[in-house]
Structure 1
Amino acid sequence: MIPQAVIFDIGNVLIEWQPERYYDRVIGEEARRAMFAEVDLHGMNDHVDRGGDFRETIYDWAERHPQWADAIRMWHDNWLELATPRIDHSVRLLRALRANGVPVFALTNFGIGTWAVATPEFDFLSEFDRTYVSARMGVIKPEPEIYAQVEADCGIPPQALLFTDDKPDNIAAANARGWLTHLFTGSEGWAQRLVVEGLLTNEQAR
């Protein structure tokens, strides 16, 4: 069966999301390692992705950790520098699928505030046929409820959904619901999977 829809994660699939790389550049790797060991910054980000206010959440974390306050606030103030660059080949694949008439969805752990920052910067974020943003849904990957909400909304059988994500836990949760999945480790592998599934030709997948 050829998949009836393709679902993209965004972070590290369409946009590079490497906060550690940003902090290595601005405060140095040694300081970054110390800060990330002491402060649960990815947990902070999960709170935003569940619907917490972007600025309020980050600035509250900064107040709790005054020795790292300036650096933590950068997560809010310089967010676009953490979420860059776009992965151009993946964007081309997204557009090639749409040109072939394949419905393309996004399923992403993203905050309301961060989404508002990202969408003017990355034009392709407005090109999905359906967009599932965790903060709007009140649940994040890999919790089963987020996948159930996608299924209920789109009405496509799980076995006809092809989903790519860079995190094994998110892929495992989708597999458990019967979705077709691809663990994203680079755009070339994803391109070949789309060819194998009959969704793109080799030429279209370049």
Structure 2
Amino acid sequence: MIPEAVVFDIGNVLLEWQPERFYDREIGAARRARLFAEVDLVGMNEGVDLGAPFAASVEALAVAHPDWAPEIRMWRERWFEIAHPPIEGSIRLLRALRAKGVPVLALTNFGVETFDAAVARLPFLAEFDRAWVSGRMGVMKPDPAIYAALEAESGVAPGRLIFTDDRAENIAAAAARGWQTHLFEGWEGWAARLVAVGLLDKGEAGL
């Protein structure tokens, strides 16, 4: 069945998200490992993805861990260096689909403030027909409720959606609802899948 709409995750699909790599570069791998073991940066970020205020969440964590405060504040002060670089091959696929009139949607775990800031700086993030952003919704992947919201509000039947995400648990949750899915491991594999389902030809997909 040829999909009716294409759903992109953003982090590690359209925009690299590797905080550990950033901190390895800035403070060294050993010190980064200590930081991530002693400070729940990942949990703080998940709270932001569920709608907690970004700057206030980072600052509260910095105050709670004064020995790590400068490093924690990097999460806010240098966020665009962490969420970098854009994945150009995936951006080309997004635009190729839109050029053919295929609806392109986003389903992303992303904070409200950070998403709005990213859209202002990275214009391709404004090119979706619609984005479902966890921070706005108060629910995040792989909770079935976020997939149900996209289904209901897009009006596209589950079997007519094709979704790519870099996290297996998010793919599994979509597949359980009947979505067509692709585990993202690089833009070339995603391009080949879009060709295989009949949405693009090889030239359009950059293959």
The TM tier, using the shorter chain, reads over 0.9
Distance apart, 1:4 and its partner CA: 0.4
Percent of pairs identical after alignment? 60
Is residue 2:195 matched to residue 1:182?
no
Distance apart, 1:66 and its partner CA: 1.3
CA distance in 1, matches of 2:73, 2:117: 15
CA distance in 1, matches of 2:61, 2:174: 31
Task: Please name the residue that 1:99 is paired with.
Answer: 99
Deviations 1:79-115 (A, max 9, x none): 0000000000000000000001100000000101101
Task: Please name the residue that 1:89 is paired with.
Answer: 89
Task: Provide TM-score, normalisation by structure 1.
Answer: 0.99
Task: Please name the residue that 1:172 is paired with.
Answer: 172
- Structure 1 residues 61-70 or 102-111, which shifts more? 61-70
Q: Tell me the SS of whatever aligns to 2:106.
A: strand
CA distance in 2, matches of 1:116, 1:202: 33
Q: Tell me the SS of whatever aligns to 2:202.
A: coil
Task: Please name the residue that 2:156 is paired with.
Answer: 156
Distance apart, 1:67 and its partner CA: 1.2
Distance apart, 1:142 and its partner CA: 0.6
Task: Please name the residue that 1:127 is paired with.
Answer: 127
Deviations 1:43-84 (A, max 9, x none): 110100100001000111111111111101110111000000
Residues 90 and 187 in structure 1, CA contact (< 8 A), matched pair in contact too:
yes
Matches within 5 A, 1:1-206: 1-206=1-206
Q: Which amino acid aligns with 2:178?
A: G
Q: Tell me the SS of whatever aligns to 1:34.
A: helix
Distance apart, 1:39 and its partner CA: 1.4
CA distance in 1, matches of 2:129, 2:55: 29
Deviations 1:95-147 (A, max 9, x none): 00000110000000010110122112211111000111111111011111100
Q: Tell me the SS of whatever aligns to 1:6.
A: strand
Aligned residues: 206
Q: Which amino acid aligns with 1:35?
A: L
Task: Provide TM-score, normalisation by structure 2.
Answer: 0.98
Deviations 1:137-186 (A, max 9, x none): 11011111100111110011101000000000100111111111000000
Q: Which amino acid aligns with 1:136?
A: R
CA distance in 2, matches of 1:61, 1:176: 36
Residues 80 and 117 in structure 1, CA contact (< 8 A), matched pair in contact too:
no
CA distance in 1, matches of 2:154, 2:116: 24
CA distance in 2, matches of 1:17, 1:42: 12
CA distance in 1, matches of 2:38, 2:171: 29
Q: Tell me the SS of whatever aligns to 1:169.
A: helix
Q: Which amino acid aligns with 2:149?
A: Q
Deviations 1:5-44 (A, max 9, x none): 0000000000000001110111111100011111121111
Spell out structure 1 runs of 4+ moving beyond 2 A: none
Any gaps of 5 or more consecutive residues in structure 2?
none
